[in-house]
Amino acid sequence: MKALRYRRDLFRSRTQRYIPKRAFETIGNALCRNTFLRNLDSAQIEKISSAMYPVEVQAGAIIIRQGDLGSIMYVIQEGKVQVVKDNRFVRTMEEGALFGELAILHHCERTATVRAIEHCQLWAIERNVFHAIMMESAREKTMSFKRHLKYSARFGGYPEEVLLRIAEFCTEMRYEAREELVVKPQYVYLVCRGSPISVCIFST
């Protein structure tokens, strides 16, 4: 509770939910560049970006502290922060950088301390909100796969429960125009959308 009170003293969050276009692009680009999040699709990126809320941080404030159990991920809109691990300088991050993602993905301790070098404007999302979006997105994808299977020539006659089970094992792959699709015999391919082509596949 002490760390939580400390953070509330330093952070001044605004309650507005409108995401300006520039901020929306900053968040989206940060998600796409991140090693752990770059496979998110456009719908997931849009939902995550829309769910983020603005946070202002004073210069010198510790945003996350190494060893604390984290639950929030941040994207820098303006300002610079310093990353320190085991009391050693790691790097400086500025506009467009994302940090704190491991805590919302794995609910683990913070691996480094991040301190604001100057006044910063951040966008934040909490772990429970992020996971709710991902669960809803997974459900929507499964139902979409099921619909495509239902109206395909090969699977159209299968019972609903069988189609749903197959859909749960489908994976979506995207291919740009003129990109070669290498067909492997152990997979079944079903074109979902075109230009660019979206294909759901599953192992036989």
In this prediction, residue 202 carries a pLDDT of: 61
Q: Where does the chain hold its CATH 2.60.120.10 domain(s)? A: 2-131
In this prediction, residue 183 carries a pLDDT of: 81
Q: What is the pLDDT along the chain (204 residues), one digit of tens a residue?
A: 333 333 334 333 333 457 888 999 999 999 999 999 988 888 899 999 999 999 999 999 999 999 999 999 999 999 999 999 999 999 999 999 999 999 889 888 999 999 999 999 999 999 999 999 999 988 998 998 899 888 888 888 999 999 999 888 888 777 777 788 788 888 888 877 664 445 566 665
In this prediction, residue 170 carries a pLDDT of: 85
Report whether 124 contacts 64 (CB < 8 A): no
Distance CA 154, CA 198 (A): 18
In this prediction, residue 11 carries a pLDDT of: 38
- Strand arrangement of the beta sheet that strand 81-85 belongs to: 62-64, 113-116, 81-85, 88-93
pTM above 0.85, yes or no: no
What would the two tokens of residue 23 be? 């901020």
Q: What is the CATH number of domain 2-131?
A: 2.60.120.10
In this prediction, residue 12 carries a pLDDT of: 39
Report whether 200 contacts 181 (CB < 8 A): no
In 3D, which of 45, 58, 6, 4 has the Cα closest to residue 134? 45
Output the 3-class SS for 89-127.
EEEEECCCCEECHHHHHHCCECCCEEEECCCEEEEEEEH
In this prediction, residue 93 carries a pLDDT of: 98
